[in-house]
Chains A and B, each alone.
Chain A
């Protein structure tokens, strides 16, 4: 079974072909960051138009390179949400139009659930109970699943998403955009122990996060140092912030994994590209009882292979074919991992 995946929920236009839900035949991602850079921020019209202009040529190129004919495609999976409405609409519309034209079922996929599916594309199997952490620019979520059909959100951020905090701290430190890689690069030469930044909600006893306070603390630290006429030690502050953010993420994940006796611990989302987070999580889950699944960096950030992969599973379970599945920027979790 071959499923074609389409992902256009935010700044990346992506297409992929996945066989049997486990084997990536092709996966291509085109990022819009360079298009927006001259404007000093995202221009929504450019974002939607870029998806529109990029998507079909990207799809053609992929199908040609992969040597897959349209008759071989069994279904079209696309991200329904959550995401930016203008961006989502492009992928959903093309997905349904292709499905109709090719006479195959359309499959609307939840972007966040697809992040948890990503490790299955690298030869892994999800075992239950499972605890998952999704961290990106727009999301910070802890999820617990007893089975494919029973999964729920344990907690999330009460204010800023983790990736958003990295971006805003990068901006406060004048490190540029995108902020995640910029903070990580700067932090490499820094001393994480020089400035003790707050670890909000570390001991709150629940699975919620808060990153707004750390961001504000960085702001005041920078202002204080500037007022004193000192040069801002960007590397030390970046390292201190990164250490604070990573410590809270890892601590809550560890706590959830122990409470629910998780057999599998899954990480997904763009922030999981961060090397410090990957190292700390690997240290925290060194014991063999809990299998830690962290995808390779390109499968952590937004991609269409995870959409096609989860689409395969949905189809195998008898799902798909919902022509009425519209783009939904605030798509809720619902139940299960499908």
Chain B
């Protein structure tokens, strides 16, 4: 499915989740999502929608800011990573992220811009821009 098939403007956190859940339907094992956007733009919210789309049954998909990684099981595993607390310029190898990226699930990385080196080419970049207090534009790049 081409990225333009999504209506990329959302007007509430719930709409962002809905959009992400629809987007998740097309995801395959090994897919990597690099999520960027300012504090409070809705990155974790987007991943909550991915989890819903993958059929993850956990009650809460919470921010992994402090633990760096949370793992969930849906129709395939979801690895939710957050680099917010990390120093800029961090490398994938230092984090031991390789095993997630090459794994059998979806890897969603918040604040991926903190990484010094690039992610694999197949990575889908997702940028969340704040239009106003409630409105978000979600821009997909790549693939």
Interface, chain A (partner B; CB < 8 A): 10, 36, 39-45, 82-86, 137-138, 156-161, 163-164, 167-168, 171-172, 212, 215-216, 218-220, 329-330
Contacts and interface: CB of A to CB of B under 8 A. Distances in A.
- Among B48, B63, B133, the most chain A Cβ lie within 10 Å of the Cβ of B63
Contacts of A161: 62-63, 65-66
A218 B96 CA distance: 34
A270 to B, nearest CB: 10
Given A158-B60, A220-B133, A42 B39 contact: no
Given A212-B45, A219-B38, A330-B70, A43 B63 contact: no
Contacts of A163: 66
Contact of B85 (A41, A160, A172): A41
Given A83-B67, A220-B133, A330-B70, A172 B90 contact: no
- Among B44, B60, B67, B96, the most chain A Cβ lie within 10 Å of the Cβ of B67
A158 B133 contact: no
- Among B40, B87, B88, B90, the most chain A Cβ lie within 10 Å of the Cβ of B40
B50 to A, nearest CB: 15
A41 B66 contact: no
Given A44-B94, A160-B62, A216-B40, A82 B87 contact: no
B67 A82 contact: yes
A44 B88 contact: no
B54 to A, nearest CB: 17
User: On chain B, which size bracket covers the interface?
Assistant: 20 to 34
Contacts of A39: 87-88
B86 A158 contact: no
Interface in B22-59: 38-40, 44-45, 48
A333 to B, nearest CB: 12
B65 A42 contact: no
Top-8 shortest CB links A-B: A138-B66, A216-B40, A39-B87, A41-B87, A219-B40, A41-B86, A160-B63, A137-B66
Query: Mostly helix, strand, loop or mixed at chain B's interface?
Result: loop
A42 B85 CA distance: 6
A40 B114 CA distance: 11
Nearest to B60: A158
B39 A86 contact: no
A42 B87 contact: yes
A219 B90 CA distance: 26
Contacts of B69: 85, 329
B66 A156 contact: no
B94 A43 contact: yes
A2 B48 CA distance: 45
B87 A40 contact: yes
B76 interface: no
Contacts of B87: 36, 39-43
A212 B96 CA distance: 28
A281 to B, nearest CB: 23
B2 interface: no
17 contacts: A36-B87, A40-B87, A42-B86, A43-B94, A45-B94, A82-B67, A84-B67, A84-B68, A138-B67, A156-B60, A157-B60, A159-B44, A159-B45, A212-B40, A212-B44, A220-B133, A330-B71
Nearest to B83: A41
A146 to B, nearest CB: 22
Contacts of A164: 63, 65-66
Contacts of B96: 44, 86
- Among A41, A156, A215, the most chain B Cβ lie within 10 Å of the Cβ of A41
B1 interface: no
A164 B39 CA distance: 12
- Among B45, B60, B65, B71, the most chain A Cβ lie within 10 Å of the Cβ of B65
- Among B38, B45, B60, B62, the most chain A Cβ lie within 10 Å of the Cβ of B62
A329 B79 CA distance: 13
Given A40-B87, A44-B94, A212 B67 contact: no
- Among A212, A215, A330, the most chain B Cβ lie within 10 Å of the Cβ of A212
A157 B44 CA distance: 13
B86 A43 contact: yes
A39 to B, nearest CB: 3
A41 B111 CA distance: 13
Contact of A219 (B39, B66, B67, B94): B39
Contact of B66 (A10, A86, A158): A10
